[in-house]
Amino acid sequence: MRSATREDKDLVVDILASSFSENASINYLIPDRGDRIGRIRHLMDYSFELCLLFGKAFVSDDGKGCALVLLPARKQTTLRTILLEAKLIARAISVGNIFKALRRESLVVRHHPDYPMYHLWFVGVMPSHQKQGTGTRLLTEIIDDARRMDYPVYLETSTLSNMPWYRKFGLSVYGQIELNYNLLLLTNDARRV
């Protein structure tokens, strides 16, 4: 795994848009107006930019997988973040879904600790390369990176079929949020599980 650079943005957006095109959590926020993939790409573009500012972005060694990590303790509101959020609303979420997005974000953040954490926002592998070890190598290295920082890993998932995989890495469910789908909250933080 290597750190992603701005030159990797299109690759990261491609991987995540294809990986999350059928994801319940993403589809909850992105209205389907015949351009869902384009809107998901804008969401992933926003997420990549935010992680470059306040976290980390990684690409697998084979270039088929990636991960975006947010370090919330570093996050700030700046003119740039305001512009990124305005672009996200206009191009991905739409004005009609602002309150839905804010409510979801508020519910998630309410469950996060008030100390530094490693928020694994997205991890994805190109669908044609899934189940070949790329995601496992990525998650192993991500957990190692968080351990070096002495931060617990937190993430959310609506993909219940991934739960056995997450459990292999010592991640446990510490909560859930009911929207029009079930969002599981996972961590390896011994203080929470």
Count of beta carbons in the 10 Å neighbourhood of residue 161: 7
- pLDDT at 35 (0 to 100): 86
Does residue 121 fall inside a structural domain?
A: yes
- Residue closest to 101 by CA, chosen among 48, 39, 11: 39
pLDDT tens column, 2-59: 999 999 999 999 999 999 999 999 988 887 778 889 999 999 999 999 999 999 999 9
- Residue closest to 59 by CA, chosen among 117, 130, 134: 134
Does residue 192 fall inside a structural domain?
A: no
pLDDT tens column, 58-92: 999 999 999 999 999 999 999 999 999 999 999 99
53: domain CATH number?
3.40.630.30
Does residue 106 fall inside a structural domain?
A: yes
Does residue 159 fall inside a structural domain?
A: yes
Does residue 122 fall inside a structural domain?
A: yes
Q: Which whole-number Å values give the CA distances from 79 to 82, 99, 111, in the listed order?
A: 5, 21, 27
Q: Which whole-number Å values give the CA distances from 102 to 63, 67, 85, 124, 172, in the listed order?
A: 33, 23, 11, 24, 25
Tally of structural domains, the chain:
1
C-alpha dihedral, 117 to 108 to 3 to 115, nearest 10°: -10
Does residue 193 fall inside a structural domain?
A: no
Instruction: Check whether 167 has a pLDDT greater than 90.
Output: yes
| Least confident residue range of 49-53, 92-96, 176-180 | 92-96
Instruction: Check whether 192 has a pLDDT greater than 90.
Output: no
Q: Note down the domain range covering 108.
A: 2-187
Does residue 64 fall inside a structural domain?
A: yes
Q: What is the mean pLDDT of residues 94-105?
A: 90
